[in-house]
A and B are shown apart, each in its own frame.
Chain A
Amino acid sequence: MYRYDQFDARFVAGRVAQFSDQIERRISGELSEDQFRPLRLMNGLYLQLHAYMLRVAVPYGTMNSAQLRKLAHIARTYDRGYGHFTTRQNIQFNWPRLDDVPQILSELAEVEMHAIQTSGNCIRNVTTDQFAGAAADEIIDPRPVAEIIRQWSSLHPEFTFLPRKFKIAITGAAHDRAAIKFHDIGLMARRNEAGEIGWTVHVGGGMGRTPMVARKLNSFVPHADLLAYLESILRVYNRYGRRDNKYKARIKILVREEGLASFREQVESEFSEVRGGVLSLPEDELNRIKTYFAPPEFKDSDARFDLAALKVSDPEFARFVVHNTHQHARPGYTSVTISLKPVGGVPGDATDTQMDIVADLVERFSFDELRVSHEQNLVLPHVAIGDVRSVYEALCAAGLGEANVGQITDMIVCPGLDYCALANARSIPVAQEISKRFGSAKRQEEIGDLKIKISGCINACGHHHGGHIGILGVEKRGTELYQITVGGDASENAAIGNILGRGITGEEVPDAIERLVEVYLGARSGADESFLNTLSRLGETPFREALYGND
């Protein structure tokens, strides 16, 4: 993985010193809250309902064991013994004290981590496929390009005060596991007719109150031109984005109001100016960055899982293999997803002890590499197939052995009204009840893959618009209500779910989900017909009727 050079190290250390000084001046009264607030937000420090929250960046969701141990240490020493992994592949601490933040940040800097640009109207952490550099279906490892984008976008002088926050996602595989079409810019690797690899650029996607699927802006931008092309998009957005209205300030609104063709024309005109200039990416620089992401020293192996035998001899482990492993590009290896969705637990949370245990596994079994997925799980990207049983046992002992990846209890869930100052309704208790209702392995196997996503308000941090079943918390006369959507999809076939009807109470949600699932199970042509396919064949009516009758 990428290692800081002297410039990076100096820059982060400088920022820690600067922000520590600002905190000191805030505590002494020299700075007012009005002066301090934008400064703390630039350093990822929010104020939530009960305390501050510190959001630490995990660049493109990649970490090593030392970094994870440091996060565990911070959780234990300065927080309440846990951290919360987010859909931006970052981690949040919910209870830091302001006067501990300088120490937390300087300890993070020791392991090349920070909280810069995890808030504010700037380019946020670039996210990617959690199986990057490991997946069998990958055209190219997107991490070197993600790293270059990180470097380009960190404190970019032109883009520090954009009209609104800006999110970029990148994937090197044709199957999108990074929800790129719900990002301001979504990049997907592609091979052109000449066999060269470049990037299809999508623009204007997003969740929030005006959800939109990104549109294709350019079907092939070569590596060398990518930064110049991104810069051109950002320049057009920075110039014309709606600064007058927070709700219309994202690039998706600009693209919609301008029209894709006109927006493209402006980007192309900007691109013709900057192309071939300082932003061209020389092949040798790309190669230099690539060396940081060189594949580990895999051993030759033809080990495979004998699933048929395992299902008889060790059915629980077989279930783990089916759901929590992902095909690796290298024979004899697999990627193991560690579910942070224990039945009835808090989605995305990991305790300090669990983080330490996972760090040991990262070191022993995955060439010191860990990933955070946007679906709020952790991934050991390179595990020898012969080691998976040992990993599984260690995970079970740590309460992390849930074999539910991709299933109905593997929900994306935002913090909601239990923590978030912007929330309308709670998300976590609703998720816990759904998880308990559908928690049995047998029930989950029967249902098959199904994605539920829950947000506590229309900001949609829980990606409910992209859930096969989405749940949105709203508030009506002091009561929490939940709107149910169906048909969302965050894959390469991105789609926004439709609301089925009026909001229902939290207590009614598990039954409602049960009824939707029953419609699906009763109507699907076979176990291999997905929820989304059944829905598109039947239309929404039977699902709506299942919730509301014929009214």
Chain B
Amino acid sequence: MQILTANELISGATVYFLADGGWGEDINSARVFSEKNIPEMEQAIERAQASGVLISVESETVRVEGSRVVATRLRERIRARGPTAPRHRRQKPDIHHAVEFTHVSL
């Protein structure tokens, strides 16, 4: 199973493609693509890239544990939570910008 992640242009913050078609910072709300949804995921990647406000758009392997979406790679778990040492809060996506890109029709 896979999710889509990117960095928001202005803040550089980690964001995820959400189930509602927008982009946001909570990995647990990320849209999880199964094998059969791969073409849909690829379309979403293309649109994200075309939006101009998302950079470094990547798919990542995850597993779903109840209401939690857990990335397989440690790198992605660190991206989802922020640096572990010292524990830093994550970067906030740019709200003004985020409004724009969540309205990009995906």
Contact = CB atoms under 8 A, between A and B. Distances in A.
Interface of A: 26-27, 29, 32-33, 47-52, 80, 95, 97-99, 346, 417-419, 423, 426, 428-429, 432, 475, 478-480
B13 interface: yes
Contact of A49 (B10, B11, B79): B79
A120 to B, nearest CB: 18
Contacts of A26: 9
Contact of B14 (A27, A33, A49): A49
A418 B83 contact: yes
B13 A50 contact: yes
Contacts of B91: 50-51, 95
A417 B10 contact: no
Contacts of A418: 78, 83-85
Given A32-B52, A50-B91, A428-B85, A98 B74 contact: no
21 contacts: A27-B9, A49-B14, A50-B13, A50-B14, A50-B82, A50-B83, A50-B90, A51-B13, A80-B88, A95-B91, A97-B11, A97-B94, A98-B12, A417-B75, A418-B78, A418-B84, A419-B83, A426-B84, A426-B85, A428-B83, A428-B85
B52 A98 contact: no
Contact of A346 (B74, B79, B85, B90): B85
Given A97-B94, A418-B85, A419-B83, A52 B75 contact: no
Contact of B7 (A47, A419, A429, A480): A47
B72 A478 contact: yes
A423 B75 contact: yes
A372 B83 CA distance: 25
Nearest to B81: A50
Given A51-B7, A52-B12, A95-B91, 12 more contacts: A26-B9, A32-B52, A49-B14, A50-B13, A50-B83, A50-B90, A50-B91, A99-B10, A423-B75, A426-B84, A429-B84, A475-B74
Contacts of B7: 47, 51
A213 B9 CA distance: 40
Contacts of B85: 346, 418, 426, 428-429, 432
B86 interface: yes
Contacts of A52: 12
Contacts of A478: 72-74
Contacts of A346: 85-86
A307 B90 CA distance: 48
A99 B55 CA distance: 15
Interface residues of B, number: 25
Contacts of B72: 478
Contacts of A95: 91
B76 to A, nearest CB: 9
Contacts of B94: 97, 99
B34 interface: no
B55 A47 contact: yes
A455 to B, nearest CB: 16
B43 interface: no
A49 B83 CA distance: 9
Interface in B13-67: 13-14, 52, 55-56
Nearest to A96: B12
Contacts of A49: 14, 75, 78-79
Contacts of A419: 83
Contacts of B9: 26-27, 33, 98
Contacts of A29: 52
A432 B7 CA distance: 29
- Of A27, A51, A99, most B-chain CB atoms within 10 Å: A51
Nearest to A420: B75
A165 B11 CA distance: 27
A432 B90 CA distance: 21
A99 B7 CA distance: 15
A98 B53 CA distance: 12
Contacts of A98: 9-12
A378 to B, nearest CB: 20
Nearest to B76: A49
Given A51-B13, A97-B11, A480 B74 contact: yes
Contacts of B84: 418, 426, 428-429
Contacts of B82: 50
A99 B96 CA distance: 12
A300 to B, nearest CB: 46
Given A47-B7, A49-B79, A50-B91, A97 B12 contact: yes
Contacts of B13: 50-51
